[in-house]
Structure 1
Amino acid sequence: MNRPSALDRWDEIERRLDGRRPAVFLDYDGTLSPIVARPELATLPGETRDVLHRLAARAPVVIVSGRGREDVATLIDVDGLVYAGSHGFDIAGPPLRDGEPPLRLEVGQDLLETIERAAEDLRRELAGIEGMLVEPKRFAVAVHFRLVNESELPRIEAVVDRVVAAHPGLRKAHSKKVFEVRPAQDWDKGRALLWILEALDLDRPEVTPLYIGDDVTDEDAFRALAGRGIAIVVTEEPRETAAEYSLQDTEEVRTFLQRLANLL
C-alpha cells in the first residue's frame, strides 16, 4: 500500500497546520535513529538532536518508544520533552504548569516483579544461542533475534511462548526482529498518545497531533489519530498502514522536522 511522501505533500500538510498548534509525537529506532544490529548502537545524529531542540521550543514534543523510558531519554538528551517508554507503559515529562507535579504514568506497575522473573527465565533458556540478546526493561523484556540464524527462530519463539504462559499477566508482542514480553493490559502507543493529549490539555480542536513512526507498534497510534491528526509512516517499501503519508528513512524524517520547525 503506497502512501504519498510527506515531503512531496508538504504544501498540503502546511495548509492542514495553518492556524493550528501541532503536538509532535515521534518514535526513536528507525525514525530518529537508523535501525542497527544491537540496540546500544542506535545513537541520535547531532543534526537531529538540534532540530528536536528547535521544535521543543515551539511545540510539545513527545518521544514514544519501545525502549525503556530512561534509556531513550538518555539517548535523546533533550530537556523539556515528554518520554513514553516501553510502548507507552512508562510516561514522564515536565509539569504542565509551574507549581504542578511532573507528568507521570505507569501502566502495569503491579507486574514489575513478574517481568523480572520472566527476564531471568528467558536469559536462562536462551543462553548459548549465537547472536541472541535478551534486553530487560522496567515494563517489558525484549528478545532481539536480528543477529540469530533463522533456523533458531522456532526454538526462540517456543521459549517466549512458554515463559509467557508460565507468568500470568504477561503477553507476547512483535516488533522488528524482536519478540517482546509485556503486561497483558489493554494499553499501547495509541492509548498512550490519547492519554498524553488529555494530560497536557492538548485534546482541543485547535491542536493537530502529528505522529511519525516506523514500527508495527506505531500503527496503534496511527489509528488513534484517524480523523483528528496527521500520521506518517517511515518505510522504504509499501506496506499495509493506517498512516496517511510516508517518509523513506531517518534522513527524510530529519528534513521533515526541519521544515516543521521553520514553519512554527
Structure 2
Amino acid sequence: MIQKREALEIPSALNQLNELKAQFQGKTPAIFLDYDGCLTPIVQRPEMAVLTDDMRLALQELATVTKVAVVSGRDRQNVAELVQLDNLYYAGSHGFDITGPGGMASEPGGAKAALSALDKADTMLQEKLRQVEGSQVERKRYAIAVHYRNVADDQVETVRKAVDEVLDSMPELKIGLGKKIYELKPNIDWHKGKAVMWLMEELGLSKGNYIPLYIGDDITDEDAFVELQGQGIGILVGEHDDKTAATYRLESVDEVRVFLEDLTDTIKKINHG
C-alpha cells in the first residue's frame, strides 16, 4: 500500500541521518537524483540552471564509491553537458534515453514511436502560444515542456487550454505536470521510477548488495518515490503542490550537497568495513 504524506510531516534526512543509514543494513546505496531543484535551484529559465563547483565535486567524489545517476526531464545530452562528469549515468527525458560509463546507451520505454506526434504537437503549440507573453515551448527529444513561470496569472488558463486542445487531438501523447510547467510526453507506461529500476537491473545492482536512494523535488519524482517504497529510500527536496511518497526530506540544494558529502564518507566505511 502506497503511503503519501504532507512534505512537512516527513523527517529531515540530515536530522535523522543515523535512522536513515540504519536502513542500508550493510548494503551500498546507489544514488539517483533529479537535476533541477536538487542539484541546482529552480531558476526563471532552464538554461540558467548551472551546477556549482562544490556540487560537481560532491557528485564526482560520490561516483568514485558507488553508482550515481542523474534522472531528469531534460534531454539526456543537455543534462550531461550541464553536469560535465563522465563517471555518472544520465537518464534524460524522464528515463526514455539513458547513457553511462563503458559505452552504455539505451532508449528503454519505446518512445521512438511518438516522435512524429511530438514534432506535430510542437508546431501546433508554437502557433497557439505565440501571442502569450512569457510562455516558452521547449522541445526536447522525447517531450515538450510548456513553461508558464513567466506568464501573467490571467493568461495561465490560456496556456492550459492550448495544451489540452493539442492533447485532445493526439492520443499518442499525455500530460505530465511539474513546477510551473505542462509537459507533453509519449502516452506510454514509463517514468522515472521505472528508469531507476531498469538501471538497478541493468547495472547488476538488484542482487541484494545495493539499495536504491532517490532524491527529487518535483511531482514527476513521485513516480520514483512510489516505486521505491518498501525497497529503497526516497528523499524530497523542498516541497511541491501535492502529498509525497518520499520517506525523508531535505530543505534545499545546499542540504543536498551536505547530504551527498556525508554519504560518500558513509559508503567508504561500508566498503572498507
Pairwise TM-score range, normalised by the shorter structure: over 0.9
Q: 2:132 aligns with which of 124, 129, 133?
A: 129
Paired residues of 2:122 and 2:137 also in contact (CA < 8 A):
yes
Q: 2:31 aligns with which of 8, 15, 24?
A: 24
Aligned to 2:193: 190
**1:151-230 matches, cutoff 5 A:** 151-230=154-233
Measure, in 1, the Cα distance between the counterparts of 2:135 and 2:89: 31
Aligned partner letter, 2:236:
V
Aligned partner letter, 1:26:
L
- Residues 245, 239 of structure 1: CA spacing in aligned structure 2 closer, same or farther, 3 A cutoff? farther
Gaps of 5+ in 1: 96-100
Paired residues of 2:179 and 2:240 also in contact (CA < 8 A):
no
| 2:104 corresponds to 1:102 | yes
Percent identity between the two aligned chains: 44
Paired residues of 2:178 and 2:219 also in contact (CA < 8 A):
yes
**1:1-264 matches, cutoff 5 A:** 1=6, 2-95=9-102, 102-106=104-108, 107-235=110-238, 240-264=243-267
- Residues 193, 61 of structure 1: CA spacing in aligned structure 2 closer, same or farther, 3 A cutoff? same
Look up the SS of the partner of 2:107 in the other structure. Answer: strand
Please, what is the CA RMSD of the aligned residues?
A: 1.4
- Cα shift readout 1:17-64 (whole Å, capped 9, x = no counterpart): 352111100001001100001101111111000011001111000111
Aligned partner letter, 2:39:
L
Paired residues of 1:236 and 1:249 also in contact (CA < 8 A):
no
Paired residues of 1:94 and 1:103 also in contact (CA < 8 A):
no
Gaps of 5+ in 2: 1-5, 268-273
Look up the SS of the partner of 1:17 in the other structure. Answer: coil
Q: Quote how far apart the aligned CAs of 1:212 are.
A: 0.4
Aligned partner letter, 1:52:
L
Look up the SS of the partner of 1:58 in the other structure. Answer: coil
- Cα shift readout 1:85-139 (whole Å, capped 9, x = no counterpart): 11112112223xxxxx624124311111221111111111100211111000000
Q: Quote how far apart the aligned CAs of 1:237 are.
A: 7.8
Q: Quote how far apart the aligned CAs of 1:228 are.
A: 0.9
Aligned to 1:98: none
Aligned residues: 259
Tell me the TM-score normalized by structure 2: 0.91
Look up the SS of the partner of 2:246 in the other structure. Answer: coil
